[in-house]
Amino acid sequence: MHQGSCLCGDVRYRIEGELPPIQLCHCSQCRKAQGAPFASNIPIDESAFQLLSGAERLQAFESSPGKQRVFCSRCGSPIYSRTSKLPGVLRIRAGSLEGEVASRPGWHIFADSRANWWELQDDLPRYAERKE
């Protein structure tokens, strides 16, 4: 079991089961939504996610048709995203997890769109588009 929260602590959640590899997304929307050179996403089955507190704080923003980015309306912390293209899957923001996480980055997606000021200096696979 894994637990996570937003910056202010109002939104708390837990995830049952092992976590798959972390996807590092370099698309322009993820960069803007995170305020960082990439988003670190962990795709999980929605049934493994349990919101413990803060349902009233969760706000969703549709950044593109069918894509929702869910965040805490008090502190702005991104919690997860979901897309109608992958029903039943939540992409948890790895930075919101607490404690030790065994999962490690598996690959870069939208690597061709990365910020020109961020160098990729690892040996992870790089994809020009989404890898499912």
Paired with 12 in beta bridges are: 5, 53
Q: What is the pLDDT of residues 51-105, one digit of tens each?
A: 999 999 999 999 999 999 999 999 999 999 999 999 999 999 999 999 999 999 9
Q: What is the pLDDT of residues 6-29, one digit of tens each?
A: 999 999 999 999 999 999 999 999
Q: What is the pLDDT of residues 91-105, one digit of tens each?
A: 999 999 999 999 999
Tell me how far apart the alpha carbons of residues 125 and 40 are, in angstroms, rounded to a whole number.
Answer: 15
State the alpha helices, DSSP H only, in 1-132.
28-34
Query: Cβ(114)–Cβ(28) under 8 Å?
Result: no
Q: Does domain 2-127 have CATH number 3.40.1010.10?
A: no
Tell me how far apart the alpha carbons of residues 69 and 63 are, in angstroms, rounded to a whole number.
Answer: 7
- Token look-up 């995170």 returns 34
Tell me how far apart the alpha carbons of residues 29 and 35 are, in angstroms, rounded to a whole number.
Answer: 10
pTM of the model: 0.91
Counting every residue written for the chain, the total comes to 132
Nearest to 42 by CA among 103, 88, 85, 87: 103
